[in-house]
Structure 1
Amino acid sequence: MKKIGVLGAGAMGRGMIKNLIESGYEVYVYDPSSKAQEISKNMGADVLNSPREVGAVVEILLASLPTSQAVKDSICGENGALQSLKEQSIICDMSTTAVSTEKELYALCKEKEIGYLDCPVSGGPMGAENATMSIMVGGDKEIFDKSKEVFNIIGGNIFYLGKSGSGQTIKICHNMVLAVTTISLVESFITAVKAGVNPKTLADVFKVSVAKSGTLDVFGDNLVNGTYEKTIFALSHMHKDANLYMGLADELKTPSPVSSVVYQLFNAAINKGLGSKDQTAVAEVLEEMSDFRIAFNQ
């Protein structure tokens, strides 16, 4: 039986673990959360005490973690996986992190003759559960080819994008488009509902017109009903990703006037304590500014 490690058994990691076990892999997991540990054990995974312990028993390692620092600590920290992984092993970082972090870890792994891919995903927890995620991969083509079997088990649309950092670059740009689209939808919904249009009617029209979008398909119900507490993608994660985009745009000296305003609105939402709610809760900032609620007037 093939052995694989997973660092992070949260909303995304759980789906990956399930699909790998169902495909016949022996899965070793590290997550500091006792709840995540219990869920992983119930699925049939072996839960170990550190990334270092996981690295000692696997040849391929997936990381699904919330921040760049968490990825660095889990891979090259004192109890990180690099302390025990053997040469020719492969690390696949499925997290959304800074491009600079991925390039740094790629170079470090290269020195140790360990393959490293940045391969962030899109599709949310449901995509992870159903193995329909899009996976955006950057790194050496040879390492990608060796990892494709795993990617095909946990994802549906697999893209090899080129050199290290390419996967994260596209994912960060993707999520900024999601953030911008969310704000655009919020503005248009407030305007239309203020004018007397039912928000569900507006959503139904948009979904079959040029203004249709994946953002509306996935997050539309929360926007229409004001159910921002039903978290599909946490606002804190969107804020983090928007911040990553702004850092990359600044590094590349890319003018980003629209993204700058959108980032400030998500920043305001964080300051209002909305981080644990769905990313559509950014609507509360604009609803307060306009003294009007989208869902209240249905």
Structure 2
Amino acid sequence: MKIGFIGLGVMGSRIAKKMLEGGNQLVVYNRTVTKTENLVALGAQRANDIASLSKECEIICSCLSMPEDCEHIFQNTVLPYARTGTVCIDFSTVGVKTSQRIYTQAKENGISYLDAPVSGGPEGVEQRTLTIMVGGEQEAFVKVLPLLKLFAETIEYLGESGSGSAAKLINQYLVAVHSVAASEAMVAGASFGLDPEQLVHLLTASYGTSRMLERHMKHYVLDRQFQPGGAVKYVHKDVKLANQLFTQAGIGDKLGELAETGFHRAIAEGFGNEDMSAVIKPLEKLCNVEVKRVY
């Protein structure tokens, strides 16, 4: 089986590697060619363009940053060239309507399209514990399930096109809200002279804990290490889309709107390319404290 993979960023490169390690033929494309080098060294084939990749692969995967990139690439350079019967798996986080528009065009071309966003970060891929939320045709899902099992532990088929994207945005809503709440809590603690490491230990053993509190503080903030596992700018994009989804559901005032503001502020202050945990930095500046490990 020949698999094409478009988009070799933090997540895409790792997912593609797991597919290659699973014994699959892999054709890769990335706008920045240097990002293909490690996979080519492991046996992948580099495509010169997306059109040629689409023509020769039975399964086409993508992991892209922005909804507009995703829609443009599929509508203009994947679907016009892919063969009838091809299955497309999109691991990107996009809006429900974006997924449904791509699905509709794919179906008209005799191609299956699955919205299959992922959660768990790069460590989830490495440990094969990723979560995948899938919408689209169930027959196509069953066909690619063995491939997904190479790097994911929790794989849920949720129903019609857009279902996977909706579930992912709900997840990202919680990621954003919990990230800002954890940041506010830790900055408040530091302002009152509490030892940050001790406070994290206490909170993670109490009802106030969250996965974002533990992730951000233990692996990024306390050590002041903000190399991105998932960048601030992408969480901002996700929670903005999630807020639109929640508004469509009929929910008015939302905690997510405050979270969106918090992530927007972090971008405005120059932290957009840092890990999402850097959403704490504007709050630290505001309160004149720094949440860090005391050695």
- The TM-score normalised by the length of structure 2 is 0.95
**Contact 2:197–2:293, Cα closer than 8 Å, also in 1:** no
Paired position in structure 2 for 1:203:
200
The structural deviation recorded for 1:251 is: 3.1
Residue in structure 1 matching 2:188, options 188, 191, 195: 191
SS in 2 for 1:159: strand
SS in 2 for 1:225: coil
**In the TM superposition, what are the counterparts of 1:102-113 in structure 2 within 5 Å?**
102-113=99-110
Q: Distance in 2 between matches of 1:43 and 1:85?
A: 25
Match for 2:133: what amino acid? M
The structural deviation recorded for 1:213 is: 2.0
CA RMSD in angstroms, aligned pairs only: 1.6
Paired position in structure 2 for 1:278:
275
Q: Which moved more, 1:135-144 or 1:121-130?
A: 121-130
Q: Which runs of 4+ in 1 moved over 4 A?
A: none
**Contact 1:186–1:223, Cα closer than 8 Å, also in 2:** no
Residue by residue over 1:117-174, the C-alpha shift from the partner in whole angstroms, topping out at 9 and shown as x without a partner, is 1000011112123322100001111111111111111211101111111111111111
Q: Distance in 2 between matches of 1:131 and 1:296?
A: 30
Residue in structure 2 matching 1:129, options 126, 137, 144: 126
Residue in structure 1 matching 2:215, options 207, 213, 218: 218
Paired position in structure 1 for 2:255:
258
Q: Distance in 2 between matches of 1:293 and 1:275?
A: 19
- The TM-score normalised by the length of structure 1 is 0.94
Give the count of matched residue pairs: 294
Match for 2:222: what amino acid? V
Residue by residue over 1:72-100, the C-alpha shift from the partner in whole angstroms, topping out at 9 and shown as x without a partner, is 122111xx111221111100100101111
**In the TM superposition, what are the counterparts of 1:12-23 in structure 2 within 5 Å?**
12-23=11-22
| Pairing 1:7–2:34 present | no
**Contact 2:191–2:287, Cα closer than 8 Å, also in 1:** no
Q: Which moved more, 1:113-122 or 1:253-262?
A: 253-262
Match for 2:67: what amino acid? S
Residue by residue over 1:180-206, the C-alpha shift from the partner in whole angstroms, topping out at 9 and shown as x without a partner, is 111111111112222221111111122
The structural deviation recorded for 1:41 is: 1.0
Structure 2: where are the runs of 5+ without partners? none
Residue by residue over 1:33-78, the C-alpha shift from the partner in whole angstroms, topping out at 9 and shown as x without a partner, is 122121221222101012211111111111101011111122111x
Q: 1:7 to 1:294 in 2, by over 3 A?
A: same
**Contact 1:249–1:256, Cα closer than 8 Å, also in 2:** no
The structural deviation recorded for 1:245 is: 1.0
**In the TM superposition, what are the counterparts of 1:232-271 in structure 2 within 5 Å?**
232-271=229-268
The structural deviation recorded for 1:260 is: 0.8
The structural deviation recorded for 1:286 is: 1.3
SS in 1 for 2:132: strand
The structural deviation recorded for 1:296 is: 8.2
Paired position in structure 1 for 2:65:
66
Q: Distance in 2 between matches of 1:19 and 1:284?
A: 34
SS in 2 for 1:161: strand
